[in-house]
Structures are given as C-alpha cells and as structure tokens.
Structure 1
Amino acid sequence: MSASAREPAREPAREPALSRGDAWGLWCFVAAGGVVAVATAVRGVLRIGELLRNSGVDVPAEFLGTTATAPIGPDGAAVEVVLDRAELHVDALPAASVAAGVLEAAVGIAATATVVILLTLLCRELVRGRIFSRRNTRLVSAAGIVWVFGAALAPFFGNMVANGAFARLSDGGFDNVVMGLELQTLIAGTFVAAFAASVFAVGDRFRRDADGLV
C-alpha cells in the first residue's frame, strides 16, 4: 500500500459554532428588524393612501435662508427665527408630486423589507456556523447596496413632493429647492456597508486558504 493511500482524508477547516447566547442575540436582532419592516410598511401604506386621496395633504419640507416669526418673545411677542424644517398643509398636490410621494413611500417599504430579508438570511447562516463564505459576502454586499440606494432615492422623491407643495401654495412664486439628503449619514452608511462586505470577503479568502492547508 502506498504512502499516499494511508493518508487520512483531508477535511475542510470548520468554523466555530456560535454559542446559544450569541444565536439568541442574532435572532433578537432579526425580530427587531422585522418590527421595523412592519412599521415602515404600515406607515408607507398609510402615506400612500393619504397621497392618493390628495385632499389636505401634509408635506414635510426643508428651507434654506428663510426667516419667519414665532411667538417666543416676552408675553408671546413675535421673534424672527430662521426656518429650517416645517410641515406644509396643502389642499391638493400636483399629479407629479403625488406620483413622487407614492414612489418615496414605496422605495422606503421595499428597501427596508429587502435589507431585513437579506440580513435575516445572513443571520441564519451565522447561526448554522457558516460565518465566512461567498454567499454571506454577497448577502452583506447586497444589503449595503440596497440601503444606499434607498437612502438616496427616498429623499429625492420627497424633494419632488415638497417642490410641488411649494409651487401649489405660492403659485410658483417661491423658489426653495433644497434636497433633503444628509450626505454625512449617506457617506457613513456607505463606508460601513463597504467595510462589512470587505471583512466578509477577506474572511472568506482566509477560510479557503486554510481549507487548502489542512
């Protein structure tokens, strides 16, 4: 019998399984994500219904370089303040703004649900002890991409709704085009998503290299 025939079969290196406490923590994370997804869906559906009725619609809006008065002085005296955010009440929105509002709500619902589903699949893999793999890397990357696009698209459509409300209230005489997108939050989220995807990609590469050495 040759020496090679006596060698035991090589088994791939196994990743350590998660403890019961860690597994419960992951499933609690999944449950919290499910609650967020359901709340987002309910709020989005109610918003879509309000927009489709198109009667007495409340529209959040941001302002730039706009002053207003508020009764915050002595004995309720009017004091000039700089307006940052406000909620506009419009009798009816233009059709384009209604469509944009529906898309804003739909993007929020779809993005939140997709991210929660992807992270749930990831947690299931982690609980089973499969931490670093190409599948997990794809799940993390996809969740990050969906989050970034959702965080960028929803404010874009929301800005269209606000512009329609401004145009209807001022008869086109008030120009206040402000994009309600927090770049710092978007950049930070993009960095975190890219970092997480890189960690899983490097971990998967190390795992495959270790499998080849065992």
Structure 2
Amino acid sequence: MSTVDTYKQSRGDTIGLYTFMVAGIAIAGITTWAAVARIIEVLPNRDVTVFADFSGTIASAPIGPDGAPVDVELDTALITAESLPGASVAALVIQQIVLALTVIVVVGCLIGLCRNIIRGQVFSRTNTVLVTTAGFTALAGFALTPFFGNMGANGAFARLSDRTFNNVVLAVDPFALIMVAFVVALASTVFVVGDRMRRDTEGLV
C-alpha cells in the first residue's frame, strides 16, 4: 500500500475533523433556516427591507453637536419599500435559494472529504472531485448571491424614487472574486497532484 495513499491521523486530528463536520452541519442548518425565513418575509411583498450598496451618495446623520445633522457618504444601508416589482421579489427569493444550496453543497463536499481523511484516504480521485466541486460551487455562490441581492435592491430604489435615483453598483468585488478563484484553483491543483503522486507510487513501500 502506498504511503501517499493512506494516512493515519492522530486522535486530536480525528476529533478536530469530527468537530468540523458537526460545525458544518450546524452552519448548513442555520443558513437554510435563515434562507427560508427570509423567503417567507419577502414573498408577501409588503414593507420589504433590503440590503443596498451605495456609491457617492450623501446623506445626513445626527452625529453633530446636540444631534445636529452632518453630511456623510453612504456605503451600505437597509432600505424598506412598501412593495417591490415582481422581478425583484423573484431575485430576492433566488438569492436565498442560491445561498442555501451553495452552503449545503460546500458543506456536504467537505464532510465527505473529512470522512475520507478519517478513513485514511487523503489523496484520491474522489477527494479531488469533492474539493473541486466545493470550490467551484463556493465561487459561483460568491458571485451569484450578491448579484441577485443587488437586483432586489435596485427594485427598491426604483419604487422609492419612482425610477429617478440611479445607483448602479457592481454587486461583486472583482478583487475578492479573483482571490476566491485563486484559492479554489490552488486547492484543486494540490489534490490533483497528490492523487497523481498516489497513483505513481502505488505498490511502493
């Protein structure tokens, strides 16, 4: 049996992996519950509160002497509209579905990876697929979740301003997206190389 193929972790490592698995299940459960609650909140389409990004927007805040208003530049805020266009409601629902599915898939893949590592299988084709699937799912979720959220916010802006307020903001930070893509590619490459080493050294002592 190849020494690269199997690995016997310490008791502490095993406990850590089981703890990670339990935490992952808890995160997936909480995220799904929060997504369902948000969908229930949005679907009636009454007094919908959305998270909004702003760009170069000045507002007054009571932070001066004795609460005097002072101009500040908004970065993000929660805004509430009496109702949203149907497309915006759909976008907010899709946002929560994408978020929940992303977390469930990523957690499921990582739990499968932890289970295989506990069994002594570190580098294998299965683990490579699990890592790659988790990585690219996280990447897609990272890009799509704020995109659909921004669509919902734009609907709120349109209703509140009667389509007179233009607040076009890029929902995804390109630099952060590139960094996530780099980490995903690196992790996938490490497991591809590790699996190749395992196959090349099969039968060696």
Where does residue 211 of structure 1 map in the other structure?
A: 202
Structure label with greater radius of gyration: 1
- 8 Å contact from structure 2 (residues 52, 77) kept in 1: yes
User: How far off is 1:213 after superposition?
Assistant: 4.5
Matched, 1:68 2:59: yes
- 8 Å contact from structure 2 (residues 158, 165) kept in 1: yes
Structure 2 gaps of 5+ residues are none
- 8 Å contact from structure 1 (residues 60, 85) kept in 2: yes
Matched, 1:101 2:124: no
Instruction: Give per-residue Cα distances to partners, 1:154-179, cap 9 Å, x unaligned.
Output: 11111110110000000000010112
Runs of 4+ aligned structure 1 residues displaced above 4 Å come to: 11-14
Where does residue 50 of structure 1 map in the other structure?
A: 41
SS in 2 for 1:87: strand
Where does residue 125 of structure 1 map in the other structure?
A: 116
Further displaced range: 184-193 or 145-154: 184-193
Q: Which has the higher contact order (CA 8 A, sep 6+)?
A: 2
Where does residue 102 of structure 2 map in the other structure?
A: 111
Where does residue 172 of structure 2 map in the other structure?
A: 181
User: How far off is 1:201 after superposition?
Assistant: 0.9
Query: TM-score of the superposition, structure 1-length normalised?
Result: 0.91
SS in 1 for 2:43: helix
Aligned letter for 2:114?
C
Instruction: Give per-residue Cα distances to partners, 1:25-63, cap 9 Å, x unaligned.
Output: 011111111111111111100110111111111011011
Aligned letter for 2:34?
R
Matched, 1:190 2:187: no
Separation of aligned partners in 1, 2:67 and 2:10: 61
Where does residue 79 of structure 1 map in the other structure?
A: 70
Aligned letter for 2:139?
V
Matched, 1:136 2:127: yes
User: How far off is 1:186 after superposition?
Assistant: 2.1
RMSD: 1.3
Aligned letter for 2:16?
G
Query: TM-score of the superposition, structure 2-length normalised?
Result: 0.95
- Quote the sequence identity (%): 51
Which of 13, 32, 43 does residue 22 from structure 1 map onto?
13
Where does residue 3 of structure 1 map in the other structure?
A: none
Separation of aligned partners in 2, 1:168 and 1:12: 64
Separation of aligned partners in 1, 2:94 and 2:48: 16
Separation of aligned partners in 1, 2:174 and 2:191: 26
SS in 1 for 2:153: helix
User: How far off is 1:12 after superposition?
Assistant: 4.6
Instruction: Give per-residue Cα distances to partners, 1:123-143, cap 9 Å, x unaligned.
Output: 110000000111101110000
